Structure 1
Amino acid sequence: MVRKRITLKNATIYGENQTIHRGSITTQNGKIIDLSKDFFPDDDQTEVIELPETYHIVPGMIDVHIHGAAGADTMDATFDALQTIASVLPQEGTTSFLATTMTQEQSKIEKALENAGLFIEAGQLEGTAETLGIHLEGPFISEKRAGAQPVGAIIKPNLKLFKQWQELASGHIKLVTIAPEIEGSLEVISYLQEQNIVASIGHSDATYEEVVTGMKAGTSHVTHLYNGMRGLHHREPGVVGAALLHDELTTELIADGIHVRPELISLTYKQKGNERVVLVTDAMRAKCLGDGQYDLGGQEVTVQHETATLKDGTLAGSIIKMNTAVKNMMQFTGCSISDIIQMTSVNPAKELNVFDCKGSLAPGKDADIVVLDEDLEVVMTFCKGDLAYRRGVEA
């Protein structure tokens, strides 16, 4: 079935190789077919949406670290939970994501992996964000740096077990958070690199030397930089020092101003640049729901004043939305919209090896498109050409 063409016109378009002021972008059958300064003619085959010239048209954002939203969590291990997450993310400009697990007893992890794999295999539903794969966060992590991950369920890295889990997940595990200093980790990391799966240092007490050893084995990513890891010390650079020093490591940042102070976010951006930072939300099920009591891996989480914590005060993920992280990042660092696109779209797409179809606005790529107003609020989101969100219109 041939679908109607859609043309968005008049706004500034941030294309892969050019920025077009008062341009037009046209999609059909889920793909971008044209970016132009010249408008497509108005005809019966084209729906034309005229936008204010102060608006911005940017690529859909990719969240590689998100546990849940709107009361749902990947660990719920149901289609309904993942569908809920996929349905609400376009409100914040996210058009694709990695369903992120957490440390739990093995049977629960296996159930979540199998469910997510089957969900991905079933295919993206119209008007929802696409699940690009799975982020396995734990249980191959450090007990000393567990954060909100349940310590009792942490286990040593085990390649045989990981292979079983990848089979359960129908091959859809795309990123693994692992502590490189733990016995058995280097074997797993080397295998991940061979399989083009991103190996990420996180929830780790590794020394600088242990991080370097992990990099030689194949780590290339750092999970929520500064959080759940050995910090920077002038006599022991730790995970943070290694992450800041080595260009080979791409670093996640939770830009809510709570997990990391704005000044350190600015320092990180100055050191890493726009090509080695990936904005993530690390959001849990309370996102979109407000203050209250929630569950995270069988632990009670209190959300109050935009902060999610366990009973002992440990930060337990975030409730930030991606477009809020974008505004914060621009405020904290003074970066541009083009820089933001690099950190929310280009970098994650390249890391996940999907830049051929996602991560930028170019003819032939998936029509994952976000319209932002002059205040960087989301006005419309298209997922593969389907209108997934329009401000002021109920789903």
Structure 2
Amino acid sequence: MKKVVLAYGPRGFGNYTFDTETLEFSGSPDTRSGPLIIPGFIDIHTHGAFGIDFMSATVDEMRDLCCELSKVGYEGFLPTTVTAPVAQVRQALARLPDDPMILGFHLEGPFISPRYPGAQPQGDIVDPPVGVSEWDPILDDSRLKVITLAPERPGGGDLIRRLSNRNVKVSIGHTEATYTQCREAFAMGARHTTHTFNAMRPLHHREPGAVGFALTENDVFTELIYDRHHVAREAAEVLLRCKPESRVLAISDSTMAAGVPSGTHLKMWGLDCHVSEGTVRLADGTLAGSAITLLDAFRNLKEDFGWSTAVNACCINPRIALGLSTTEARTYLELDPDLNIVARYDRKK
């Protein structure tokens, strides 16, 4: 069936004729009215959702997670680890099913700074390996797409070079790196920052730190958790004013708490957590990842910053970052005026 829609199509944002069978667009995007069609969401940083945690999930639970995320508009995602012993990470990766929604994995930790662990288990933090290591099978895994590390740690530079040479996206995060150390990491191949503003050396007028680097380096992709708790609207606006729109990546950084009722108590990564008012926190109030999906982030971004920012950050820029097609998405979503998903169109194989 063909319908005239308002869509982010092959020639930008505007009106097209959209074929719901072939997912092809035709016409010229010269006006802006009608049902809204956007590409499916790509989340490069999620630890789980709907009561399912990637680090402990079974194969069937990961399939269930794929199903649940498809209902909230996901086309694909990178299951993301937390800091843990190598054996535990290997076991989690061994349980990843072969599913088209799973685009690889994101290794967050254990090569991070103990000064900025966030909710990562501090006892399992280690320095990046130098030479032969028990981590080699994980670091050499072809499914590894993104790694978060602290470049200032001993061995950090060697690992950045090693992984960027095989096109793994190296992301600076959970770090006390100075601005200069971030610039050095960039020269070695680091091209992302992880949940920018969170768990990194903050901006100071005499030491801009990792935040200053993220704001001023146009060639770096900057992750942003926009649940309105991790980052204030005004700080997000600073980021969006400083960065090219094509370099801001909305992420959920969701945990198993996403989609779980407020008031729920959880045991997550060995830590006692509480879900409340759209957040998940440790007993001391520290944010422990998020309780949103990218659909929530999309709605927040659209409300606060407009269509272009929301579509680029949630749908387009993650594709650019991962080297996926930006003109032939595998999934398109039809949204109503309240940004509810009313239809999902998947490309036939």
Sort the TM-score into its range (normalised by shorter chain): over 0.9
Note if contact 1:266-1:332 (Cα within 8 Å) is conserved in structure 2: no
In structure 1, the residue matched to 2:323 is: 353
Structure 2: gaps spanning 5 or more residues: none
TM superposition outliers: structure 1 runs of 4+ over 4 Å: none
In structure 1, the residue matched to 2:313 is: 343
Identity %: 34
In structure 2, the residue matched to 1:44 is: none
Matched residue type, 2:290 = S
Task: Return the alpha-carbon distance in structure 1 between the equivalents of residues 150 and 16 of structure 2.
Answer: 48
Note if contact 1:24-1:37 (Cα within 8 Å) is conserved in structure 2: no
In structure 1, the residue matched to 2:65 is: 85
Distance 1:288 1:383, change over 3 A: farther
Larger CA Rg, structure 1 vs 2: 1
Distance 1:8 1:78, change over 3 A: farther
Q: Does 1:62 align with 2:42?
A: yes
**What's the offset of the Cα at 1:22?**
6.0
Deviations 1:187-245 (A, max 9, x none): 11001110000000000010111111111111100000011100000111010011101
SS of aligned partner of 1:11? strand
In structure 2, the residue matched to 1:304 is: 276
TM-score, normalization by structure 1: 0.82
**What's the offset of the Cα at 1:298?**
1.4
Note if contact 2:224-2:249 (Cα within 8 Å) is conserved in structure 1: yes
Note if contact 2:218-2:244 (Cα within 8 Å) is conserved in structure 1: no
Note if contact 2:49-2:254 (Cα within 8 Å) is conserved in structure 1: yes
In structure 1, the residue matched to 2:55 is: 75
Task: Return the alpha-carbon distance in structure 2 between the equivalents of residues 81 and 138 of structure 1.
Answer: 23
Correspondences of 1:115-126 after superposition (within 5 Å): 115-116=95-96, 119=97, 122-124=98-100
Structure 1: gaps spanning 5 or more residues: 1-6, 39-52, 125-129, 387-395
Correspondences of 1:227-266 after superposition (within 5 Å): 227-266=198-237
Task: Return the alpha-carbon distance in structure 2 between the equivalents of residues 18 and 354 of structure 1.
Answer: 17
**What's the offset of the Cα at 1:376?**
1.8
In structure 2, the residue matched to 1:157 is: 128
Correspondences of 1:1-395 after superposition (within 5 Å): 7-21=1-15, 23-28=17-22, 32=23, 34-37=24-27, 54-116=34-96, 119=97, 122-124=98-100, 130-158=101-129, 160-161=132-133, 162-167=135-140, 169=141, 171-291=142-262, 292-333=264-305, 335=306, 337-355=307-325, 359-360=326-327, 365-385=328-348
Task: Return the alpha-carbon distance in structure 1 between the equivalents of residues 220 and 8 of structure 2.
Answer: 26
SS of aligned partner of 2:229? coil
Matched residue type, 2:193 = V
TM-score, normalization by structure 2: 0.93
Note if contact 1:12-1:54 (Cα within 8 Å) is conserved in structure 2: yes
- Taking only aligned residues, the RMSD between alpha carbons, in angstroms, comes to 1.9
**What's the offset of the Cα at 1:251?**
0.4
Note if contact 2:298-2:311 (Cα within 8 Å) is conserved in structure 1: no
Matched residue type, 1:253 = L
